[in-house]
Chains A and B, each alone.
Chain A
Amino acid sequence: MSLSRLFLGKRGEEPPDNDFDPSLVQRSGWAHTLYVIRRDVLAMFSVLWIAAMLISAIAAPLLAPYPEQGAGRNNVDDRLLPPSTQYLLGTDELGRDVLSRLIYGARPAMSSSLVVVAVAVLIGTPLGAIAGYFGGWVDEIIMRFTDLFLAFPSLLLAMAIVALLGPSLMNAVIALVASWWPWYTRLVRSTTRSLREQYFVEAARSIGVSDAMIIWRHILPNTITPILVQSTIDIGTVILATTSLAFIGLGTQAPNADWGLMIEGARQFLRQAWWYSIFPGAAIFLTVLAFNLLGDTLRDIFDPRQYR
């Protein structure tokens, strides 16, 4: 008996767990994520700052000390006043409270960046999954099309599109979506290409599962992590892009509040009113930084091997 050296189990016996590797057991996803973020000071700051910006955007009329000024009403009697107890962060050249303007400015920043990234993910992901899964000429057509968009610098392409459509926040969002979706197509395509070679995809094929269901059930759930990491970082970058467009007059239009627009207005008063330019600049800087740091932390959590 060549198998006599082996342990021959009897039918119905519970198999012993001697090839069980406890290190493979992961803490459940979200609990682990929260645990890591709470230990990490920078990540904690990022989450709190982003939460503050989201609350400001949603509840701007309740939080702003002067809601009407935040919305754009002039107050010319109090032009360019320095920070005081009455105006915590000073006033702008039309006498409006800078703090109120900042809180109202969180609205275009947060909403447009979330919309841009969400729509870019929704367009880019299916195209990337299809290109990566099927390969061949389908891949070739989709990827050459995305190359067409990627050949231009994102901001330049967005500027060209806004110039064509006319300056407004809505058109800025459309323009940024047009220049951002190809990045997700690329990301999802490369993830899909490596997933396609996995045994569980071959197992699904051997069962007879259709290509569409394989993509839906077995490929897409495994692309969520890299998409989540990338889109978190991208929200920061898109905020920078929308405020840049507003700065050059191609985004939010006055009298609506926008951080980029505020810096543009403050440019002439750099010497007289430092508070007017510093605070919106800091708002952009901190928000972009927060999204970048949070993205990095998420990347570390989901893929500790690669980045530590």
Chain B
Amino acid sequence: MDKQALVTVRGLVKHFPLPGGWLSGKRRIVQALDNINLDIVQGEVLGLVGESGCGKTTLGRCILQLIRPTEGSVQFDGDELTQLRGDTLRRKRAHMQIVFQNPLVSLSPRRTIQQSLTEPLSTHHMPREEWMPRIDALMQRVGLGIQHLDRYPHELSGGQLQRVSIARALLLEPKLLVLDEPTSALDVSVQAQIINLLDELRREIGLTYLFISHDLSVVEHLSDRIGVMYLGKLVEIGNTEQIMKQPSHPYTKALLQSVPRVGSRRMHEAPLLEGNVPSPINPPSGCRFHTRCPIAEAICQQSEPILEATGAAQWAACHLTIKETL
């Protein structure tokens, strides 16, 4: 990479212990994330896709230390976040913000929009005379007016609330913005507006996004690079164009097949995925995808593939694609 990485994730593991099990002696564990390595480059939009339950949301939370990772390191802007505690971590949060999926539940129900928007500013000790100018400017920029400031969350529409959430996240001028399915809870027409707003904002301010979504078409529109996750693993990562045109990993191929496109000829090239995602409590041996993979061979059940280059700026974790290209 010629540009500097803003976030460096190395060997990130997150296990969630399941309740119960101590009587039988076996403590069951959900392997939500398993050995994730990735960089988020300054100024880029990294899209993260995968089926629900694949760990993409957990990865976003672990990067921000909203959930503490079990193992591994997360470096942000030169700091090792996993080592930070208490006040130091809280001060760091001004530089990394998150927008949640459902804006109605991510704003305090008993606080007005203005109270919700002043909170980041007062928390990080901004001079009081700067509060209102900043809030006014951002409200206008996200397409809302001062008449919305004294409303309560239940008095605004989903699209308006998501604009408020974005404004709240941007008030402290963060370097990194994690967008956790920011459009999934919205109507289709409103989705497009929010996507366009996010696109404009990052061009204007030079933000770095980690864009988490299960909707490939939305991710494609916004992202410079795309990471594909399956059952807690990063199975492929690369430039958006390459991933979309020449996917290496069979899972990525299947995922692309599932996106309906007008006038596409690729529709019948490969069969769609069958069956359900296996449980992350007992993930399959070897390659986690082998149970549903259309081209799986014996080796896939035995050894776990690692991310290897399959193109100029493309990496995939699959035994068979690597054989193909070499």
A208 to B88, CA, bound (A): 10
Chain A residues 7 to 24 lying within 8 A of chain B, measured CB to CB, are 7-9, 11-21, 24
* Stretch from A63-71, A103-111, A127-135, A214-222 forming part of the interface with B: A214-222
Q: Are B64 and A206 in contact (CB under 8 A)?
A: yes
Interface string of A201-213 (1 = CB under 8 A from B): 0111111111001
Residues of B within 8 A of A18 (CB): 157, 187, 189-190
Q: Provided the pairs A3-B192, A25-B154 are in contact, do residues A207 and B97 lie with their beta carbons within 8 angstroms?
A: yes
Check A217–B108 contact: CB distance below 8 A: yes
B150 near A: Cβ within 8 Å? no
B218, CB-defined interface residue at 8 Å: yes
Taking a contact as CB atoms under 8 Å apart, the answer to whether B196 and A15 are in contact is: no
Once the chains are docked, how many angstroms separate the CA of A106 from the CA of B78?
A: 69
Tell me the complex Cα distance, A75–B285, Å.
94
A2 interface contact, C-beta 8 A: yes
Minimum Cβ distance to chain B for residue A32 (Å): 13
A216 to B42 alpha-carbon distance, docked (Å): 36
Count B-side interface residues using an 8 Å CB cutoff: 51
Interface: A198 (CB within 8 A): yes
* A19–chain B nearest beta-carbon distance, Å: 4
Interface flag for A6 (CB, 8 Å): yes
- Any chain B CB within 8 A of the CB of A137? no
Report how far A199 CA is from B99 CA in the complex, Å.
10
Contact of A85 with B by CB under 8 A: no
- Tell me the smallest distance from the CB of B49 to a CB of chain A, in Å: 13
Question: How many angstroms from the CA of A18 to the CA of B204 in the assembled complex?
Answer: 28
A207 contacts B66, C-beta separation under 8 Å:
no
Q: Are B195 and A3 in contact, CB atoms less than 8 angstroms apart?
A: yes
* B142 and chain A: residue at smallest CB distance: A15
How distant is A83 from chain B, measured CB to nearest CB, in Å?
51
B232-256 contact mask (Cβ, 8 Å, vs A): 1 or 0: 0000000000000000000000000
State the CA gap A25–B155 with chains docked (Å). Answer: 6
The secondary structure that dominates the B interface is: helix
Identify which of B123, B168, B192, B196 contacts A213 (C-beta below 8 A).
Answer: B123
Asked if B107 contacts A203 (CB within 8 A), the reply is: yes
Report whether B188 and A200 are in contact in the complex, using a CB–CB cutoff of 8 Å. Answer: no
B94 interfacial contact with A, CB 8 Å:
yes
Contact A7 B200, CB 8 Å, known A202-B66, A206-B98, A209-B119: no
Inter-chain contact A2/B217, CB cutoff 8 Å: yes
Q: Are A203 and B106 in contact (CB under 8 A)?
A: yes
Indicate with 1 or 0, residue by residue over B80-111, a CB within 8 angstroms of chain A CB atoms. 00000000011111100110101001111111
Interchain CA distance A213-B218 in the complex, whole Å: 36
Whether B218 lies near A3 (C-beta < 8 A) is: yes
> Are A199 and B105 in contact (CB-based, < 8 A)?
yes
Whole-angstrom CA separation of A9 from B94 in the bound complex: 30
Residue in B closest to A206 when the chains form the complex, CB atoms: B98
In the complex, what residue of chain B is closest to A205 when comparing beta carbons? B66
Interface string of B184-217 (1 = CB under 8 A from A): 0011111111011000100000000000000001
Q: Which of B107, B157, B168, B191 contacts A6 (CB 8 A)?
A: B191
Residue B73 at the chain A interface, CB threshold 8 Å? no
Give the CA-CA distance A15 to B124 in the complex, in Å.
31
Instruction: List chain B residues, Cβ under 8 A from A16.
Output: 189-190
B residues in contact (CB < 8 Å) with A: 64, 66, 89-94, 97-98, 100, 102, 105-111, 119-120, 123-124, 143, 154-155, 157-160, 163, 165, 168, 172, 186-193, 195-196, 200, 217-218, 220-221, 259, 261
27 contacts between A and B (CB under 8 A): A2-B217, A6-B191, A6-B192, A6-B195, A8-B193, A9-B196, A15-B163, A16-B190, A17-B157, A18-B157, A19-B157, A19-B159, A19-B187, A20-B158, A199-B102, A199-B105, A199-B106, A208-B90, A208-B91, A208-B92, A208-B123, A208-B124, A209-B90, A209-B119, A210-B90, A217-B111, A222-B110
The 7 closest A-B pairs by CB, nearest first: A6-B192, A208-B93, A2-B217, A20-B157, A208-B90, A9-B193, A199-B106
